[in-house]
Amino acid sequence: MLGGTQAIKEPWRNTYAHVMAEMGWAEFATNYSDLPLFDLLAKKPRMMLDRMLSRRINSPLASSCGRLFDAAAAAMGICTEHVLYEGQAAMEMEALVDDDTLHHEDESLAYPFSIPRLKRCGLPYVEPLGMWGALLGDLILHTPVPVMAARFHKGLANVICHMVTQCSQSPDGHDRHQTVVLSGGVFQNQVLFELVKAKLTAAGFTVFSHKQVPMNDGGIALGQAAIAAARSLQKTNEVQSTCV
């Protein structure tokens, strides 16, 4: 997150961080210098940004899917420079999704993600390099943004389902978990939620989601309040027991 919380307010920062992480500036310039996105990022204070990245100055790592949405949306020209509220870029991209592309286009055109494993611990993670190649290629071809938005959602839904399937299996390949709970602010995105739910259900999973408690930070806040209340009650009971 280049600039810390500033990356939430200025989506282009996330795009730049992804470009540098996935291919570096030299490769980006060689292959995509004709794009308006290249011109936009080239005008940013790159020397300072690169120093922040290399020295990890005010640029914490983030695993948030929201920042991935911000990076992709900004690359498509959606809320590239700044947003008025957190999640605006993702919400506007969701609203632009082309329904025909979403439901009828060949699956091979969905933006591809891969699932490699971390070298140190062997845990799987979502790698967006393939997605960026496809997205930037669509920019070169002047693909309509609604089509690109649909392909992004489809690709992300695919990799989420592949990750769930992979994590649900034991080392010998047998299924051990068939119940999935979809939670977190990203699943307030109804396009993504419905895609993932349908794919997981078709694969034999039982899918649960929120009905009364919010999926996003509101749910976290409620959980924190419940924990605080439980601790307070425990302390009160301990004091009363001591007095007795």
Q: Specify the CATH number for the domain of residue 120.
A: 1.10.357.160
Per-residue pLDDT tens digits for 179-225 = 999 988 899 999 999 999 999 999 999 999 888 887 777 777 888 88
CA-wise closest residue to 81 among 10, 1, 169: 10
Distance CA 79, CA 92 (A): 8
Please answer whether residues 177 and 205 qualify as being in contact, where contact means their C-beta atoms are separated by less than 8 angstroms.
no
73/61: higher pLDDT: 73
Does 129 map to a domain? yes
The pTM assigned to this predicted structure is 0.88
Q: Which domain holds residue 29?
A: 6-177
Does 214 map to a domain? no
DSSP track, the chain: -TTTTHHHH-THHHHHHHHHHHTHHHHHHHHHTTSHHHHHHHTS-HHHHHHHHHHTSS------HHHHHHHHHHHTTSS-S--SSTTHHHHHHHHH--HHHHHHS-GGGSPP-B--B-TTT--B--B-HHHHHHHHHHHHTT--HHHHHHHHHHHHHHHHHHHHHHHTB-TTS-B---EEE--SGGGG-HHHHHHHHHHHHHTT-EEE--SSS-SSHHHHHHHHHHHHHHHHHHHHHHHHHHH-
Q: Is the pLDDT of residue 75 over 90?
A: yes
Stretch among 18-32, 48-62, 149-163 having the lowest mean pLDDT: 48-62
Does 232 map to a domain? no
Per-residue pLDDT tens digits for 80-133 = 999 999 889 999 999 999 999 999 999 999 999 999 998 888 889 999 999 999
Where does the pLDDT of residue 243 fall: very low under 50, low under 70, confident under 90, or very high at 90 and above? low
Please answer whether residues 176 and 205 qualify as being in contact, where contact means their C-beta atoms are separated by less than 8 angstroms.
no
Does 52 map to a domain? yes
| Phi, psi dihedrals of residue 23, rounded to the nearest 5° | -140, -20
Taking each helix axis from N to C terminus, what angle separates 24-32 and 12-22, rounded to the nearest 10 degrees?
100
Does 223 map to a domain? no
Does 111 map to a domain? yes
User: So what's the pLDDT on residue 11?
Assistant: 95
Q: Is the pLDDT of residue 5 over 90?
A: no
Into how many domains does the chain fold? 1
User: So what's the pLDDT on residue 240?
Assistant: 64
Does 33 map to a domain? yes
Does 93 map to a domain? yes
User: So what's the pLDDT on residue 232?
Assistant: 85
Please answer whether residues 17 and 62 qualify as being in contact, where contact means their C-beta atoms are separated by less than 8 angstroms.
no
User: So what's the pLDDT on residue 175?
Assistant: 67
